[in-house]
Amino acid sequence: MARRLLFLSLAVIVWCGTGSATRTTPRHHYRHHVIRRAQSAKAKPSYTNTSFTTPHSGRHHRRLRRVYWNPVFRPSHDSLLKQNAEIDRLELPRIQDDTELEQLKLEGKLVPIIPGETLRIDPRLDPDRRYCRPWTRDFVEDLATSYHQRFGQQIQVNSAVRTVVVQKKLRRHNRNAAPAEGEIASSHLAGVTVDLQRRGMSKEQIKWVEGYLVPLKAAGLVEPEEERRQWVFHIMVSDRYDEWRDGREIAKTQSEPLPSDIPTTVPGMDFHYSAAPPVSVPAATLPEAAQPSSLSPSDEPQANR
């Protein structure tokens, strides 16, 4: 009897050990197999033109295109400081809400941007915010006219004036948007800035716009940035632009020579200045010609700085 019990006990022990080994061995091998495949996938992903496939999962993941981005007007903290310094010089308010916005419209301090043969407005832009300062609208119309003469196409306005309320809402879902307050607040809040769409522009057209802006920036008339995420030209315009513009019109009817320290041509434009504008602008030397950039369009209509 004792021998029979001892035999049964040994049989149970042997059976349990065999079952445990049977259960753990596949799990052990499976774990190492998964680790080896994961390490292989991490070291050598299989790339295609638009996506890559991880060997251990077979799933496709989107891969960002490697685009060489070298804009003439790179966004910067210093540029935001300059834009706000100009707003402070002009003693313009940062528009808080729709009530203040409507009051400025009634007073004529904000004027509507009017679409036409050379200029269009993004239909997604709220009609109540298709306004800007008078000198900003003059700049946009001049640029649109010259662009249309050169390429036979329209310039599109994606964004103009904003209120602090709108800017705060924008910041909630767009990391690229500037603050609504402080020394680097968005210059859209003062109505001096517009965003012009780059989507659909060729390299030649982008280079032309950059060349158009270079001497104006050098003379302190505009402060442009080229947004990377939204693919727009963000351009703040100084009130000095209208003085310069009026002087240019007068210069067309005069034959006085231009001083050597004032830019006389704008790359890519079809006109030059025949006399110096009767305004005081900083002496400037044109930078080297802008190089074309490889750019990619964005679907965002107006979510920017």
Q: What is the pLDDT of residue 183?
A: 92
Q: What is the pLDDT of residue 60?
A: 52
List, for the chain, all residue ranges whose pLDDT scores fall below the cut of 70: 1, 14, 16-69, 252-304
Q: Where are the domains of the chain?
A: 77-251
Q: What is the pLDDT of residue 63?
A: 54
Q: What is the pLDDT of residue 11?
A: 74
pLDDT in tens, 199-251: 889 999 999 999 999 999 999 999 999 987 778 999 999 999 999 998 887 77
Q: What is the pLDDT of residue 247?
A: 87
Q: What is the pLDDT of residue 155?
A: 97
Structural fold of domain 77-251 = Muramoyl-pentapeptide Carboxypeptidase; domain 2 (3.30.1380)
Q: What pTM does this model have?
A: 0.65
Query: Residue 47 and residue 65: Cα distance in Å, rounded?
Result: 12
> Is 5 exposed, middle or buried, given 0-12, 13-18 or 19+ CB atoms closer than 10 A?
exposed
Q: What is the pLDDT of residue 179?
A: 85
Query: Residue 261 and residue 281: Cα distance in Å, rounded?
Result: 10
Q: What is the pLDDT of residue 54?
A: 42
With CA atoms as reference, report the closest residue to 135 among 192, 55, 69, 186.
192
